[in-house]
Amino acid sequence: SCSFLFWHSSLLNRWSSGIKSVLHKWEVCPEQSSGYRHVEVHYQSKVWTHFPIHLNEKLSPSCIFLFFYLLFTRFWLISVLYAVWWFFDYDTPLRGGRRVPFMCGSKLWDYMRDYFPIKLVKTADLDPRQNYIFGFHPHGVLVAGAFTNFCTYATGFRQLFPGLTTYLLLLPLWFRAPFFRDYIMCAGLIPSSKESASYPLCQRGGGNAVVIAVGGAPEALDAHPGTYNVMLAKKKGFIKMAMEHGAHLVPVFSFGENEVFDQVKNTRGTWLRWTQERLQNIMGVSLPLFHARGIFQYSFGLMPYRKPINTVGEPIRVDRNEKPTAEELDALHQLYMDELSNLFEEHKENYGVDKDKHLIFV
């Protein structure tokens, strides 16, 4: 009996110590005492649940389930009519999508902009008579900077670059989900296929800019705070496309993109990284194990940290060359990497990056 009481007391002490340790580390958000900050956090939690890129893994399967579920209910006609609509509308994502200005100009995106905050920095004028390919780096976990700057009106892209319309590329598989495809097209998202990306660049008169997160899903696995790994060394497809269409290249670097989430350590060569890469090869999407803060505390949650995201870029003139040689392609690719590196070095100290930090091309 005494030994049982001793064991029970010891267990309670350990539990008590553990709880105290957790509470000691539990950091409450100061936003609770600030009216506007509280509103920002409140609306950011709502924005995060409506953020198209964040919803890929959640809403798209739900939309697929809903489509088939309705077929077996008295609302079956909804799915049938949608299927007919989908048949005639199938190529719309490949033809520039269907942007809805109301969606892009929603007040919710202003709260998202102010939450981090996110800022679009103009470093050079862009001629609206030309077409462009924006190479966005780094991908980060959820490309928050690319979406906010180029898919919404929150950061003033239309005022900074009048006459330009941007199209952010997203994995094609998300456009195969009924209902969900229409939702993401509202924000100016189009599939990341050659046919889809080429369509805006083929339009006469210019004024179109295709935004490509060049590192793609694999780069998201390297999105750790304080790291500047850019998957670009072997990425030449977008360079060739720019040459074929005579679209000017704009290297874009988003300072702070990797800082908004922590990620479970997944060094190359570990079993976790191996598993993530295999799943990415099978499914086409990466699965970074990320976490950050909660709505009312900083210790843990899936809300992103409030870290500034500043996006900058400068253009590289590209002359049209429908059949570039390997040497010409390599030369422009090297120029692009040099310009991106110069852009990073020129602006890094303005955004809190240490002098000894440099881009690492993977």
Q: Is 165 helix (H, G, I), strand (E, B) or coil?
A: strand
Q: Quick one: pLDDT at residue 151?
A: 93
Does the residue 60 lie in any domain? Answer: yes
Domain hosting 151: range is 30-361
Q: What share of the chain is helix, strand, coil (3-state, %, to 5)?
A: 50, 15, 40
Residue 9, in any domain of the structure = no
Per the domain annotation, does 11 fall within a domain? Answer: no
pLDDT on residue 46: 46
- Answer yes or no: is 10 within a domain: no
Question: What secondary structure does DSSP assign to 283-335, as a single string?
Answer: HSS----EE-B-SSBSSS-SBPP---EEEEE--B-----SS--HHHHHHHHHH
pLDDT at 302: 56
Which pLDDT belongs to residue 298? 53
Residue 50 confidence (pLDDT): 46
Question: What's phi and psi for 233, nearest 5 deg?
Answer: -55, -35
Decide if 3 is inside a domain: no
Place of tokens 């002098």: 355
Name the DSSP class of 28. Answer: B
Domain count, the chain: 1
Place of tokens 């899903």: 217
Residue 285 confidence (pLDDT): 78
Amino acid at 296: F
* Identity at 36, one-letter amino acid code: Y
**Is residue 168 assigned to a domain?**
yes
Instruction: Give me 212's structure tokens.
Output: 């490509």
Q: Are 161 and 122 in contact (CB under 8 A)?
A: yes
What are the C-alpha distances in Å from 74 to residues 66, 83, 178, 292? 13, 16, 19, 43
Residue 22 belongs to a domain: no
Those residues with Cβ within 8 angstroms of residue 71's Cβ, 6 or more apart along the chain or in another chain: 79, 80
Concatenating the DSSP letter of every residue in 214-255 gives TTHHHHHTT--TT--EE--TT--HHHHHHHHHTPEEEEEEEE
- 15 belongs to a structural domain: no
Q: Which residues contact 18 (CB under 8 A, 6 or more apart)?
A: none
Judge whether 197 and 212 are in contact, CB under 8 Å: yes
- Residue 8's pLDDT is 43
∠ CA(179), CA(47), CA(110), 5° rounding? Answer: 120
Per-residue pLDDT 10s for the chain (362 aa) are: 444 333 444 434 444 444 344 334 445 455 444 554 554 454 454 445 445 555 555 688 889 999 999 999 999 999 999 999 999 999 999 999 999 999 999 988 898 888 888 999 999 999 999 999 999 999 988 888 999 999 999 999 999 999 999 999 999 989 999 999 999 999 999 999 999 999 999 998 999 999 999 998 889 899 999 999 999 999 999 999 999 999 999 999 999 999 888 888 888 889 999 998 988 888 777 788 876 555 555 555 556 666 777 777 789 999 999 999 999 999 999 999 999 999 999 999 988 899 999 999 99
